[in-house]
A and B are shown apart, each in its own frame.
Chain A
Amino acid sequence: MNVPAGAAKVERSEGVWHAAWRRFKSDRVGLVCAVIVIVFLLLIVVAAVGGVARNWQQEVGVANAPPTFLGPRAAEATGAIEVPKGPNVDLSAVDPLAPRYKEWDERAAQFKTSEVPKAETLAMGADRLGRDVLSKAVKGTQISVFVGVMAALVATGLGTLLGAFAGFFGGKVGDFLEWLYNVFEAIPGILLIFAFAAVFGRGISTVVLILGLTGWTGLYRQVRAEFIKHRNREYVRSAEAIGASVWSRIFSHILPNVSHVILVRMSLLVVGFIKAEVILSYLGLGVGIEDVSWGTMLAEAQAELILGYWWQLAAATLFMAVFVTAFSLMADALRDALDPKLRGLE
């Protein structure tokens, strides 16, 4: 830039992201929650590469081992039947198998069985099979959050793309997309998810797909409204005048200007999808049997609770409550920071 020496420095007005960060910084609750979310995300990355909770399926404790602070379970009463004492009656004279016992003992001695010591207590207890509940909760967090975030990405991508086209082009394209939106909106959400689940089956990628394909409508509506607002603004007309193509106007001119709206919406979607995944997995329509998520943990916990083993329920609830609370408060702070007009609407 050719700025003559001594001229006043060109004052650039504050960008939307800078302004947002300034507002976000002053929101202490939002900041703390963002830190919690980042800690969770780090934990998830570490769990995904196998740093922690890789062996969540190993049966490291006794079945239903209680959490450490409760201490080991009292030995169960063995009953009133007296165990006979003294040497066994010598039956070798009449036992037809007696001559072969020695041979069998020798052969058995060739194989070594080692008894793996199983922990009496674990930090957060063990489940029905003796698997460490803490590892399961960490692994479950990984899967549940992954599903929530991926599904939100799918829904956001779909909603943004369709919303951008509907808003920018209007006319026939807009009418068609509005029709599609109306069709998806006409069916109650949970029923739509069930219908998709009925045909697509189970598994992590399937859940992502189901939630993403059914959850894009709200975002579509908002992006469309933004694009309608922006498409005739002066900067877009100027871009057209200097020969910017349709694609470049949509994606490099308007999209960055509405991206804050999309980001806020997406963070709200994550929370909704995490909750939906938990319920789907509980019902057996979610992640497969080989995986663990908060939902499958809750499904197991229900039977355990009746027997008094409450720790798996507590662990899954605790992890989920902390993450979802932190994430929703962070999303609220994000919304206040990025879109002050929306403040207080929820």
Chain B
Amino acid sequence: MAAYLIRRLWQMVPTLFGVVLLVFFLFKYFGGDPAEILGGLNATPEQIAAIRQQLGLDQSVWVQLGIYFKSILSFDWGKSWATNEAVGHLFATRLPATLTVMLPILILDVLIALPIAMWVAYRRGSLADRTIMVITTVALSISFLVYIIVGQYLFGFQLGWFPVQGWSDSVWTNLITYTPLPVLLAVMVGLAPQTRLYRSFFLDEMGQDYVRTARAKGLTENTVMFKHVLRNAMIPILTNIGLALPGVFVGSFLIEVFFSIPGLGREVLLAVNRSDYPVIQAVTVYLAAITMIINLLVDVMFKVVDPRVVLK
């Protein structure tokens, strides 16, 4: 196990190195001149030259790459060009809002999709199954945007059940007042693909021999479904949740934009619109690292859940 962990962590190094190279050269060669962005429209050539020198842009590419690596390893990303806020601070203050919205969405998605998927899988081919499959196909074809626009208008503006948007400093107020509408809408959107996916997992398991054996032993349908099928189907479902976890950090930036939630996703989008490179670069590199670590944890978790799994 320890050897496995060390090898996996060691394998992350070249990948992370690649991510850093990708981000560096992407912004270096396609991203426009940082000095001109920083200097603004009225900067004199001397000012721009001064900024270039300050950022080390007058050095060779390799020296710049070295500076870049040093800043990553020392977790020093400098400051946002637009707000002069330290990037590390930006992370720490925006992440809680994102998690407040995204974790309930993730949990509710799974908790609601699981029983529906199990039910339609059990009644495969029935009218209910086909109806739900058609509904999910149509639901999937409508843009996420439409759900949010119509939902916000209907529930927030017309019916007045929820505040249209807003955020406060208290986690409880946020959870009780401001998150229900975004969570409701995001769950509505996420339910369709989730149900389809889980249904296919259940169908896979229900076709296995052990299900026939269990039935032949005379076990009740409830026992077969809940004790045998559900537990085995949980393996791919858990993988899927694990794969969805990194996405939680960027959050649903659309939700954050529409509902004015001061989260990480909205911050990234703002950074893109302002050409605020340090923020985009930092978020990209760190999220890549987080993604890889979560993937490793998911693999290790498998070993715990399913003793048959051999870690290679």
Tell me if B165 counts as interface (CB < 8 A to partner A): no
- On chain A, the residues within 8 Å of B228 by CB distance are none
Check A278–B145 contact: CB distance below 8 A. yes
Interface residues in A257-304 (C-beta closer than 8 Å to B): 275, 278-279, 282-285, 294-295, 298, 301-302
Binary interface encoding of chain B residues 163-199 relative to chain A, with 1 for a CB under 8 A from any of its CBs, else 0: 0000000000000000000000000000000001100
Check B146–A317 contact: CB distance below 8 A. yes
Check B149–A191 contact: CB distance below 8 A. no
Interface residues in A180-211 (C-beta closer than 8 Å to B): 180, 182-184, 186-188, 190-192, 194-200
Binary interface encoding of chain B residues 240-261 relative to chain A, with 1 for a CB under 8 A from any of its CBs, else 0: 0000001101100110010000
Q: Which of A180, A298, A345 contacts B145 (CB under 8 A)?
A: A298
Check A294–B288 contact: CB distance below 8 A. no
Given contacts A186-B15, A285-B272, contact A191 B284 (CB under 8 A): yes
Q: How far is the CA of A306 from the CA of B153 in the complex (A)?
A: 7
Check B149–A194 contact: CB distance below 8 A. no
Tell me, rounded to whole Å, the shortest Cβ–Cβ distance linking A293 to chain B. Answer: 11
Given contacts A187-B288, A278-B143, A294-B143, contact A179 B14 (CB under 8 A): yes
Given contacts A199-B27, A346-B196, contact A194 B272 (CB under 8 A): yes
Interface residues in A291-342 (C-beta closer than 8 Å to B): 294-295, 298, 301-302, 305-306, 313, 317, 320-321, 323-325, 328-329
- On chain B, the residues within 8 Å of A197 by CB distance are 272
Tell me, rounded to whole Å, the shortest Cβ–Cβ distance linking A54 to chain B. Answer: 26
Tell me, rounded to whole Å, the shortest Cβ–Cβ distance linking B171 to chain A. Answer: 25
Check B149–A301 contact: CB distance below 8 A. yes
Q: How far is the CA of A294 from the CA of B119 in the complex (A)?
A: 36
Check B145–A182 contact: CB distance below 8 A. no
Q: Which of B200, B257, B275, B287 contacts A198 (CB under 8 A)?
A: B275
Tell me, rounded to whole Å, the shortest Cβ–Cβ distance linking A296 to chain B. Answer: 11
Binding-face segment, B18-26, B65-73, B84-92: B18-26
- On chain B, the residues within 8 Å of A324 by CB distance are 140-142
Given contacts A194-B269, A278-B145, A284-B273, contact A183 B153 (CB under 8 A): no
- On chain B, the residues within 8 Å of A285 by CB distance are 272
Check B31–A198 contact: CB distance below 8 A. yes
Q: How far is the CA of A147 from the CA of B200 in the complex (A)?
A: 31
Interface residues in B118-161 (C-beta closer than 8 Å to A): 137-138, 140-146, 149-150, 153, 157
Q: How far is the CA of A184 from the CA of B292 in the complex (A)?
A: 12
Binary interface encoding of chain A residues 5-37 relative to chain B, with 1 for a CB under 8 A from any of its CBs, else 0: 000000000000000000000000000000000
- On chain A, the residues within 8 Å of B287 by CB distance are 187-188, 191
Given contacts A282-B145, A305-B149, A344-B200, contact A190 B15 (CB under 8 A): no
Q: How far is the CA of A194 from the CA of B281 in the complex (A)?
A: 11
Binary interface encoding of chain A residues 29-69 relative to chain B, with 1 for a CB under 8 A from any of its CBs, else 0: 00000000000000000000000000000000000000000
Check A191–B30 contact: CB distance below 8 A. no
Binary interface encoding of chain B residues 268-297 relative to chain A, with 1 for a CB under 8 A from any of its CBs, else 0: 110111010100110110011001100000
Q: Which of A186, A199, A313 contacts B146 (CB under 8 A)?
A: A313
Q: Which of A278, A305, A345 is packed against the most chain B CB atoms within 10 Å?
A: A305
Given contacts A198-B280, A301-B149, A313-B150, contact A179 B138 (CB under 8 A): no
Q: How far is the CA of A140 from the CA of B39 in the complex (A)?
A: 38
- On chain A, the residues within 8 Å of B238 by CB distance are none
Q: How far is the CA of A182 from the CA of B288 in the complex (A)?
A: 10
Tell me, rounded to whole Å, the shortest Cβ–Cβ distance linking B294 to chain A. Answer: 11
Tell me if B32 counts as interface (CB < 8 A to partner A): yes
Given contacts A320-B142, A344-B203, contact A179 B18 (CB under 8 A): yes
Check B272–A198 contact: CB distance below 8 A. yes
Q: How far is the CA of A198 from the CA of B269 in the complex (A)?
A: 9
Known: A186-B18, A188-B250, A195-B26. 6 other contacts (CB 8 A): A179-B15, A190-B250, A194-B268, A199-B32, A298-B149, A313-B149
Using CB atoms and an 8 Å cutoff, list the residues of chain B in contact with chain A.
14-16, 18-19, 21-23, 26-27, 30-32, 137-138, 140-146, 149-150, 153, 157, 196-197, 200, 203, 246-247, 249-250, 253-254, 257, 268-269, 271-273, 275, 277, 280-281, 283-284, 287-288, 291-292
5 contacts between A and B (CB under 8 A): A187-B22, A187-B288, A195-B26, A313-B146, A346-B200
Using CB atoms and an 8 Å cutoff, list the residues of chain A in contact with chain B.
179-180, 182-184, 186-188, 190-192, 194-200, 275, 278-279, 282-285, 294-295, 298, 301-302, 305-306, 313, 317, 320-321, 323-325, 328-329, 344-346
Q: Which 10 A-B pairs have the closest CB atoms?
A: A183-B18, A324-B141, A199-B31, A186-B288, A325-B141, A199-B30, A198-B272, A182-B15, A187-B288, A321-B141
